[in-house]
Amino acid sequence: MNNSDFNLNYQNKSIESKIVASLERISQAFRVLLWQESKEFALTPIQIQVLIFIFYHHNEKCKVSYLADEFNLTKATISETIKTLEQKELITKEFDTQDTRSFTIQLTKNGKKIVEQTSLFSKEIFNPIDKLHQDDKETLLFSLLNIIKHLNQVKVITIQRMCFTCVYYKRSANGQKHFCNLLNQNLQTTDLRIDCPDYVSL
């Protein structure tokens, strides 16, 4: 395919393809950084991601079906991950008193310790972003949110907890101003959220 983003003859003349190729490199960096952590703690990358997610999210999201959607994996794969984490005594299951087949997942003391040691795995991606000019950071955040919104609309990414797809979000006619009806306040670009605990899907 001549216009593949990975065809160098095409890519080197296209800023859009260079951005796509750059995002691919950054996604590789996430994989590499996660693998480094997993080797150190004898866990797989998805096991670490699940532990970090559980630590930072409300109980209602710490269920097999939600985690399967969150990580775009099957329920069987997440169930297997949970089973292994339970055997390693990093999580426990809290069964629903009304429905004993349903449970939420909680971290044990050791599970929390692993999160403390691994959840800074992305700091080498954070560092160069931290050095950008404030205007560039805002442009980058706004652009990434729009790319993620598109990926959600075409069903590549399932779960969203970001302002642009939230029922409370309103954008001005010229697209320049943002408002949250729940917080009842204008949102500056820096206030736009990628993972909001109050998010309600459109």
Shortest spacing between CB 129 and ligand SF4, in angstroms: 21
Phi, psi of 104 (to 5 degrees): -105, 160
Q: Considering beta carbons, is residue 23 or 182 the nearer one to ligand SF4?
A: 182
Shortest spacing between CB 202 and ligand SF4, in angstroms: 10
- Exposed/middle/buried for residue 51 (C-beta within 10 Å: 0-12, 13-18, 19+): buried
CB-based contact 92:106 (threshold 8 Å): yes
Q: Considering beta carbons, is residue 43 or 163 the nearer one to ligand SF4?
A: 163
Shortest spacing between CB 173 and ligand SF4, in angstroms: 18
Asked if 61 touches ligand SF4 (CB under 6 A), the answer is no
Q: Considering beta carbons, is residue 151 or 183 the nearer one to ligand SF4?
A: 183
Window 170-199: contact mask with ligand SF4 (x via CB under 6 A): ----------x-xx---------x--x-xx
Asked if 24 touches ligand SF4 (CB under 6 A), the answer is no
Q: Could you give the angle at which helices 45-56 and 15-41 cross, rounded to 10 degrees?
A: 90
Q: How many residues bind ligand SF4 (CB under 6 A)?
A: 11
Q: How far is CA 197 from the centre of its chain?
A: 13
Asked if 145 touches ligand SF4 (CB under 6 A), the answer is no
Q: How many helices (H) and strands (E) does the chain have?
A: 8, 5
**Residue linked to tokens 């805002």:** 138
Q: What is the DSSP letter of 95?
A: E
Shortest spacing between CB 174 and ligand SF4, in angstroms: 18
**Residue linked to tokens 């480094």:** 36
In the complex, the residues that contact ligand SF4 under the rule CB under 6 A are: 163, 166, 168-169, 180, 182-183, 193, 196, 198-199
